[in-house]
Structure 1
Amino acid sequence: MVQPTTRGESMLYPDFSFSRDYADQLQQNPPTGSHVINSQSYGPPPYGIPRGPTFSGAARQDSFSQGAVGAEIGGQTQSLGIVLSNQRPPQAKRGPFKTDDERQATAETRKIGSCIRCRMQRIRCQINPEDKLGPCLTCQKVSNAKIWRLPCLRYKITDVRLFKPGQVKGHEWTRRWREGVPDDIPQWASLETRVVMVTEGYTNRPVELQVRQFVPQEGDALARSWVYEGKKKSVDIPPYAIVNLEEVKTAYDEYIKRGIWECCQALLSHKEKILLGTYLAAMKHAADPRTPQKEKELLKKVLQLWMAIRVTTKSTVIVGDETLGMPRDIMDETSPLRGQIPLPPVMGAQIELVLIHQIQVGLRREMLENLQTMIQANKQQTWFATYLVTFILLHNVSLLCQHDAGYARKHGFRSRFAREDMVREYQLGANILLAYFHYCNKGIYPFSPECREQDLSTLAELDKNKIKFVLLTRKAVEEHKKHWAKIRQSGDCENDFYYISQLYEQNWQPQAPV
């Protein structure tokens, strides 16, 4: 699907540059015996990624880089209020339950969850006995004076889904590791170890892996397939697998930490500049020595998770001289991987299992727990980090929808998405993130022209550079407001701005799943 573009419209973000100082602080030094090969030429990228210009050091410093920081809704929803107050109520010390009914009601609330307003204000969320999943009685009692209306939603940040759980049912590359715990191959066809270099094309540094031929077992895919003009095509691939999966985790951990900025440039530099500019702002804020440590850690985790997800949503190919005996033209002109050397299926399954279960799962848990803690504290000084993290996670949802739709087209699905149930989960997660962000704004719209400087200072503690970033974003939002509204109305959740643009909506309401 071709996305609507705002490229012809004048954006407010000039070309970006990213100082090596920021990259050095953001990324860790690789350990001795690195599996990530230093940048070197393997010929032009074979993976079809439009490359943006390379930005170095202090060259071409621009106004943005100088100013951007040195689902499904079950039951009835009812417009309910959030009290506009700058004062947090003191946390109540809960005494013993006075009655058994009160004890049972609390247990039931814990079971189905508190709504956002009650959770944020740390007050008792009273379930409506006539509609237990509907608006709570606490919200219904709120006075309509001086409130910003948001439906009573039982959302929890740690429920947000951020990546695919594995391969599409019926299209698995192996049935060896059904529990999601990868283990080394038990039976090898040869003890000869070969060294291959693989990449999905987001950086100029491929990952080095040691592989061997293995003895196939039932359920192992031995061919790569695709659909062209309604006909299924396939090509046989030699059965190779990775020798040591612990080395895979080490290699990809390092690859992700070192490659975030390159990945952002490769994926975003040819798109609207507000995207790359906001990712750059997140990196700078994470690297700024003045940024509190908890915010730094949160931003680093969300950026690492974002890149780890990108690696699992694009085909990885073999580059370099070692091709495991496959000719350069093994994939013909009808294949999306034409002219490239594909991964053997079991080897691809190994990489995906490690990335999902040993890297993404841990990063997601830690990042969402930290984000939930920060949002529920609802402090002025954390608003900026909350915005950046929410922006990146919402963009991730659009990218996941793009991937799922692309996979469905590649393999000839009749449905729009290959994992329709998971896409609904992604979209519910977007609603959760948006609901908390809009609650934390306390009825102030920081990216609207009507927002006064006094309102902005009430909402967040921002220095001059952060204020400049907000103002630049505000101008871009105003210029593209009508275009983004059309994207939302069309239900184009694959568009980069379908979810991001909802950050800037006034009187936001949760969107039904597309």
Structure 2
Amino acid sequence: MHETALPTDRHLSTSQLKQRSNPSKVIKVRAAFDNASRQETALVRKLGSCLRCRGRKERCKPDILNPNGECINCALTSLSVHQIPCIRTRIPQVSLYHTVTTENDTWTIRPEIFGTEPTELSSALHTGVKILELTQDYGKPLVVRVTEFIPVDGDQTSYIWSIDGAELELPMPCYAITNIPETKAAMETYMVQNLERYIDSFIDRNDSVVWATFQIAIHRARYRNSILLQKMLRLWIASRMVEKAWHICGRETLGLSHADTAGTPYEGKIPIPPVMDSQFDQIMVRFILNPLRAQVLKILDSRITPGKRSEWFETYLVVSLLLNSITLSTAHDHKFAKLHRHVAAGRGSRFEDYNLIESYFHGAQVLIAHFRVIINGHRPLQSGSPDQIMISHEDLDDKEVRYITMIHSQLDTAISTANFLRKHNRYENIMYWTPNLFSTSWDPSPIYIKELEEGEADLIGSY
């Protein structure tokens, strides 16, 4: 007669070991997935869980027949009143700026500029290197070294525009940046030196809420040594720099004068050559903007996604500045389209790149939704008085407490303004997004671009 061998510990599952160590405790063992569940799990891993399911810590169930639509959980609750959108976009995926400039794409197709990593031009002569002082009309100049180059097919060596059907041209000397790492370092120094000048130029002091938010962000970055806000402010100014044109402001002008630009769109200024402009654009995007964006969004995601509320104040400041940057980038795209009288086929003339602007809108809604849903970030200032329970967890100094009190006192006006702007589709206005962090009437649904009615263009900035 043979006895049945008892399983040894090494043959037991984790749940069986726990049961043996504590026989009185009932251990729940998850049943094996069937094929449908496995298919669903694989789809969730591919698409990601939606915000509502993550916020409620539920298993997200995508619709197999419409995987890019609402998940089953959200569809079942769509008839009830809720403000948690079924979005799967994560914070690190948010779009904040253009990665290529439509017009600049035609100025050169060199792989040294648009390849994996911008490098010096292969046809650079490296004879008679010149030092240029450049400006965007804010603060101290940017100093860079340039050299002549031999143009190749695809290099634009002049600026071309048309007036009443007649094509006009401004020939430009063939100069390009000669030291990419040195130029990157110079641009980073320029950002630190001129941050407050850019803020002063882009933010109206009469917009007291926005202005105060930037000042308190600078205060916390500088005097509280907030690494996240230091990076965020650099990301903000870099986003402005990539949208503005550089022009020559020093004694060295590459043989050009203001007389050469008289009667052109560049009158009163000396623009940099087209290929050099493309170099600046790609150095900024590849070496400065992309790393800063990745760092800021990664840190922000690490604070919001786990539901951390202890760092509410700094999280709020970063999200506010991101929303402000999105608004300014939206306004820039509108101004660019208006200046060049561009019309997007099948869309309209309000924006240069409609897909880009729609990605901005989606990104703004993603940021607002995560702030409100995951950490209930809207609650401290939405109640009758600032939520002392949440704020008490913060290490706030007197200046920061006064700021919170001021924001709370002006919140109703700011929300009313934002509601007006949304009703009238004033996407380009600086108050369009941020008040929605706290508004009880925030609408999480997608925003579809509407064209301006005749006569509305001049009202873009007003409210």
Contact 1:151 1:509 in 2 (8 A): no
Residue number among 165, 181, 196 corresponding to 1:246 in the alignment: 181
- Cα offset, 1:283, TM superposition: 1.8
Q: Which residue of 2 aligns with 1:418?
A: 352
Distance 1:456 1:202 in 2: 40
Q: Tell me the amino acid that sits aligned with residue 138 of structure 2.
A: Y
Match of 2:271 among 331, 342, 351: 342
3-state secondary structure, aligned to 2:84? strand
Take 2:52 and 2:366, find their aligned partners in 1: how far apart are those partners? 13
- Which residue number corresponds to residue 320 of structure 1? 250
Going from structure 1 to structure 2, the CA distance change for 1:137 and 1:304 (only over 3 Å counts) comes to same
**Per-residue deviation, 1:480:** 4.1
Q: What's the RMSD between the two structures over aligned residues?
A: 2.9
Question: Residue 132 of structure 2 aligns with which residue?
Answer: 196
Alignment of 1:333-372 (within 5 A): 333-335=263-265, 337-372=266-301
Q: CA deviation at 1:408?
A: 1.4
1:374 has 2:308 as partner:
no
Q: Which has the higher contact order (CA 8 A, sep 6+)?
A: 1
Report Cα offsets for 1:135-156 as digits up to 9, x if no partner: 33445678999x9632322231
Q: Does 1:302 align with 2:238?
A: no
Quote the residue 1:108 is aligned against. 43
Amino acid at match of 1:354: I
1:39-76 CA distance string (max 9 Å, x none): xxxxxxxxxxxxxxxxxxxxxxxxxxxxxxxxxxxxxx
Larger mean Cα displacement after TM superposition, 175-184 or 217-226:
175-184
The 5 Å alignment of 1:388-467 reads 388-414=317-343, 415-440=349-374, 442=376, 445-448=379-382, 450-453=383-386, 455-458=387-390, 461-462=393-394, 463=396, 465-467=399-401
User: In the superposition, relative to structure 1, how do residues 406 and 163 fare at CA in structure 2: closer, same or farther (>3 Å)?
Assistant: same
Give a deviation string over 1:381-408, Cα, whole Å, max 9, x none. 2111111111111111111111111221
Alignment of structure 1 residues 197-346 onto 2, 5 Å: 197-203=133-139, 205-226=140-161, 233-289=168-224, 296-335=226-265, 337-346=266-275
> Where in structure 1 are there 5+ consecutive unaligned residues?
1-92
Q: Structure 2: how far apart are the matches of 1:467 and 1:94? A: 50
Please give the per-residue CA displacement for 1:465-487, whole angstroms capped at 9, x wherever unaligned: 43432221122232344333222
Question: Per-residue displacement from partner, 1:102-149 (whole Å, max 9, x unpaired)?
Answer: 33221100111211133345442122445433433445678999x963
Q: Go from structure 1 to structure 2 and tell me whether the alpha carbon gap of 1:262 and 1:245 turns closer, same or farther (over 3 Å shift).
A: same
Counterpart code for 2:350: R
406-415 or 423-432: bigger deviation: 406-415
Deviations 1:299-336 (A, max 9, x none): 1111111111111101111111111100123222452x
Q: 1:20-40 deviations in whole A, cap 9, x for unaligned?
A: xxxxxxxxxxxxxxxxxxxxx
For structure 2, the residue ranges without an aligned partner over 5 or more in a row are 1-27, 344-348, 450-463
- Is the alpha carbon distance of 1:487 and 1:140 closer, same or farther for their aligned partners in structure 2, counting shifts above 3 Å? closer
TM-superposed CA distance for 1:503, in Å, is: 2.1
Tell me how far apart the structure 1 counterparts of residues 428 and 94 of structure 2 sit (CA, whole Å).
Answer: 18
The alignment partner of 2:159 has SS state of strand
Q: 1:104 to 1:398 in 2, by over 3 A?
A: same
Structure 1 CA distance, aligned partners of 2:338 and 2:105? 14
Give the structure 2 partner of residue 183 of structure 1: 119
Name which of structure 1's ranges 348-357 and 224-233 shifts more when overlaid on structure 2. 224-233
Q: Secondary structure at the match of 1:432?
A: helix
Letter in 2 for 1:457: I
Q: Aligned AA for 2:288? A: I
Bigger mean CA offset, 212-221 vs 463-472: 463-472
- In the alignment, is the contact (CA less than 8 A) between 2:242 and 2:281 conserved in 1? yes
Question: 1:501 corresponds to which letter in structure 2?
Answer: P
Q: What TM-score, normalized by structure 1, do the two folds share? A: 0.73
2:433 is matched with 499
Q: Aligned partners of 2:205 and 2:260: how far apart in 1? A: 30
Would the alpha carbon gap of residues 144 and 409 (structure 1) be closer, same or farther in structure 2, given more than 3 Å must change? closer
How many Å apart are 1:413 and its aligned residue?
0.6
In the other structure, the counterpart of 2:5 is none
Change (3 A) 1:496 1:225: farther
Q: Counterpart in 2 of 1:40?
A: none
Distance 1:508 1:98 in 2: 39
